[in-house]
Amino acid sequence: MPLVATTYSEKDMRLIETAYHHLLETVEPKMDDEDRAMMQKAYEMALDGHSRQRRKTGEPYMLHPIEVARISIEEIGLGPTAAICALLHDVVEDTEYTLDDITEAFGKKVSIIVDGLTKLDGTRTFESPQAENFRKVISTLVIDVRVVLIKMADRMHNMRTLGAMPRHKQLKVAAETSFIYAPLAHRLGLYNIRSEFQDLCLKITEPDVYQEIAEKVQATESGRTRYINEFLKPIKKQLDEAGVAYRCFGRVKSVASIYNKIKTKKVPFEEVYDIFAVRVIMDVEQKKEKQACWLAYSIVTDAYKPIPERLKDWVTVPKSNAYESLHTTVIGPEGRFVEVQIRTERMDEIAEKGFAAHWKYKGVSNQPDVYEKWLDQVRELMENPSSDALEFISDFKNNLYAQEIFAVTPAGDLINLPKGATALDFAFHIHTDIGYHCKAVKVNNKIVPMGYKLSTGDKVEVITDKRQKPNESWLKIVVTGKARSKVRSAMKEERRKKGIFGKEAIQRKFNNLKVNFDQGVEALVKHYGFRSHADLYYALAKEEVVLNDLLKPFEVKMHKLVEIPVEKPKQEGEKTAAEKPKISAKTKILVNGEPAELYHYKLANCCNPVQGDNIFAFLTSSDGLKIHRSSCPNATNLLAKYGYRVMKAEWVISGDSTFVAELKIIGVDEGVGVMQQIMNTISSEMGINIRSFNIQGGDEGYFEGKTSLMVINTNQLNQIIKSLLKLEAVSDVMRIK
């Protein structure tokens, strides 16, 4: 956050010292005398470095590293070394202290972690600075995972205190969090951290939705508590009779999780019955864990009828992030579906603290080290990183899958893959060479296409041929980060080999013209927008471009290619800086406080913003400025990868403009009369202009219609939705996003 020069008052110091003492109390059980001395030294260095800095909220900056250290210890479960690094995490970036100072005072181990937590040098330019910073953090993942875990704590505190930031910056930070930090928290088993990330992101992107659901969750608390107590009575009775130590309780799901259910199931809040889960935690020794979990399952399903297809056994085969638990859904009192999670105290600690707790129990469980397998995959990506940071981040993100399947090799080994993985992904997972030379795949003894999507339990056999090699179409088949990275590398190597001929052609031409080769190639790449020198060479080799044509806009001066200046004609209607228009009655949107008419701008077709929607402006590379809704399906990707292109946008309230909005309408098919009722409500009763309308009915008493309307603002759109929902034949109306 931006810093303001200041000195800390006595009141500030009391706040800082109170926070620091709380941190010491939190970490005290894990410290020895050397740790205590190092903690104090780190505190004093950070306090000295940040002594004239304040956060955007106005509070002393020193409170931030202290709180990051506390989250690292208390909420993530790390130890004293992590707390020391958290206290120092902004020192190199924001103060006069250097990395050498850190190394001298605290040693190499702390220095490596702090370096990983320090952002890239701002003097360098990158296509996507965020992606480059993500890549730097991820590169430290295989050296010391604590870098990423402390980064999680840092991001969590920033998200909790984001209210002081401008709206467009809040959207950018929330998008980064949703794009990489929440999935990474899930992959590292930090479920509480992931859930809070998702909630805080929703609170920023769709504040009205978040507030509405949060209020309804709070309003239904007393009734929910009564229901859970009633549900648990027969279960507790049987567990007591079995004579096992246990604890059980109900836990409300996160607001973001509830919202996701509302969207996917297309039902209102009142019809989402599984907004909580019941958890049964058994306190038994490790060798009796599996037996105890299945005993509890038997007791639960004796008390209530289970839904067999909703049983998830992650005790026998844990998730790839070490999560172990039995999940089942049963039909409870009043016919309500209730999800029950059954685990042991050890499993619960790993589920709550993820990777940090995993180290505590390393070697205790009889399960293979699933984190090591995943880190091996990350190492493979790091060994052959893409020159494009955005591609690298995309490959890495594909390794952060939430849902997974288990395929089986001919030898009977279980292979863990993300849901949606293909037969070709399986081949690359087994070994890179098997992937490269994959000619055909058998699934359950039948030949299938390479793009065949695998399901849990599929037995997969890969048939190879040394003459086979990857091609461009494979990138459309594979979904895992490893496979995409390997195929892309193979394609680049193939392009490089073919590009040698193009490079030789340029060398001959530049020798004849007496042009410096490196300068000339750089000039061509920059002028024509090639992504790399290799792309230019490849285009020439494939005769996609002609070298003489490429050289036409240039002349040779002093052994260099220099662009021939071309006077750009003034476009009709183009205004000079002095003629820039002021905000007028026609202005609908302000961008960075100025009329959007100053820019070449459009409303994005992917989300069709309507006056009243939360919006942001995004500067595209070739099509001017696009105005997107904050909740646009593409928003997270744009804001996370290209946050530097995002600009603040806001509506100028006026009633003389109309916008396109699309609605989906679902209901009971009553024949021709339904369409007439809907159109009458929209057009005749409300006076709304209908751009298009189509409806599909069936023999099953169900219809689905889509309509495109011209509306003034979101208030009018919401009124249309409410009016349509009053029709007896209509069961649901939703805005198409």
Q: What is the enclosing helix (H) or strand (E) of 527?
A: helix 517-528
Q: Which residues contact 138 (CB under 8 A, 6 or more apart)?
A: 148, 378, 382, 393, 396
- Burial of residue 514 (CB within 10 Å: 0-12, 13-18, 19+) is exposed
Catalytic residue among 12, 35, 59, 94: 94
CA distance 299 to 234: 9
CA distance 617 to 647: 5
Residues 418, 404 contacting (CB under 8 angstroms): yes
Q: Which residues contact 46 (CB under 8 A, 6 or more apart)?
A: 62, 65, 87, 88, 90, 91
CA distance 111 to 115: 6
Separation of CA 535 from chain center: 30
Catalytic residue among 48, 93, 274, 522: 93
* Cβ atoms within 10 Å, residue 662: 15
Is 94 among the catalytic positions? Answer: yes
- Burial of residue 701 (CB within 10 Å: 0-12, 13-18, 19+) is exposed
Of 370, 474, 375, 448, residue with least CA distance to 416: 370
Beta-sheet pairing, 646-651 with 615-619: antiparallel
Cβ contacts of 299-305, under 8 Å, gap ≥ 24: 299/235, 299/238, 299/239, 299/242, 300/235, 300/328, 300/330, 300/340, 300/342, 301/328, 301/330, 302/238, 303/234, 303/235, 303/238, 303/330, 304/231, 304/330, 304/331, 304/332, 304/338, 305/330, 305/331
Is 93 among the catalytic positions? Answer: yes
Report which DSSP code applies to 288: G
**Which residues are catalytically annotated?**
93-94
